[in-house]
Amino acid sequence: MKLYFSPLACSFATRVALYEAGAAATFVEVDPLTKQTEEGTDYLTVHPLGLVPALLIDDRRLLTENAAILQFVAEEFPRAELAPSDPWGKSLMLQWLLFIATELHKTVFVPLLEKIAGPEVKSYALAKAPLRLGCVERRLADREFLLDQFTVADAYLCAVLNWSAVTPIHLERWPSVHRYHTSLLRRPTFARAFGEERALYFRELERDAPGHP
Ligand SMILES: N[C@@H](CCC(=O)N[C@@H](CS)C(=O)NCC(=O)O)C(=O)O
């Protein structure tokens, strides 16, 4: 399997899921600005939207959309127990994956991170944060993970919460969310993925800085 990723993007969740699963995978960096892969190819020929993650499963199958990829990894490696096995638990995990994707990732964080989004767009996104993070706060008040066990939804939520460091979202305002995020980053697979991608992220910033040849 080959994961196309950009450092500390939402593909961070897939990397963590692959580490948790003990999957044999290679990782190909995509520059989000130029859409060039580290292999020297144009990523738009892999994924027409140029978005990460994309998971090349074999020479016939390419999966896109983080929620779908995360579910695939959980199903493909059942012994890692990265998802519940009962219908209710599976549906709850899907509920959280979709909530994270649509209500947090795309509604709140993308506009805050997007360089071309103007102040009105950013205020709109910021105004959406308290209700949504409040939901997560209540969910996590008396539990370690989103569900009764660690799942790939936790990997996705962590990837999104990581972005609070570079946005005006201060997680301390939601103490259970803050505790959860801090504790996930201590988990060995997360710590490994974070350390690896953080180094690549700083290289990416340097490479894409204005004036850099
Ligand atoms: N719907 C996609 C969205 C993925 C997405 O937004 N990826 C971001 C990184 S977190 C990206 O590749 N952005 C580059 C761009 O917008 O050109 C999914 O859930 O996988």
Ligand 1 pocket, 65 CB below 6 A? yes
Compute how many other C-beta atoms are within 10 angstroms of the C-beta atom of residue 81. Answer: 14
Q: Stretch 136-152: mean pLDDT, rounded?
A: 98
Ligand 1 pocket, 9 CB below 6 A? yes
CA distances to 87, 121, 162, 174, 196 from 171, in Å: 32, 21, 10, 5, 23
pLDDT tens track for 12-42: 999 999 999 999 999 999 999 999 999 999 9
pTM score, whole prediction: 0.97
Quote the pLDDT of residue 209. Answer: 80
- For atom 20 of ligand 1, the residue with the nearest CA is 65
Instruction: Please return the burial class of 177, using the count of CB atoms within 10 Å of its CB with bins 0-12, 13-18 and 19+.
Output: buried
Ligand 1 pocket, 31 CB below 6 A? no
Quote the pLDDT of residue 138. Answer: 98
- Contact criterion met (CB below 8 Å) for 50 and 27: no
Ligand 1 pocket, 84 CB below 6 A? no
* pLDDT grade for 207, boundaries at 50, 70 and 90: confident
CA distances to 105, 134, 179 from 176, in Å: 19, 10, 5
The answer on pLDDT for 208 being more than 90 is: no
The ligand 1 atom nearest the CA atom of 49: 17
- For atom 5 of ligand 1, the residue with the nearest CA is 51
Q: What letters, b where the CB count within 10 A reaches 16 and e where it falls short, cover 82-117?
A: bbbeeeeebebbeebbebbbebbbeebbbbbeeeee
Tell me how many degrees the CA angle 27-33-34 measures, rounded to the nearest 5: 80
Ligand 1 pocket, 136 CB below 6 A? no
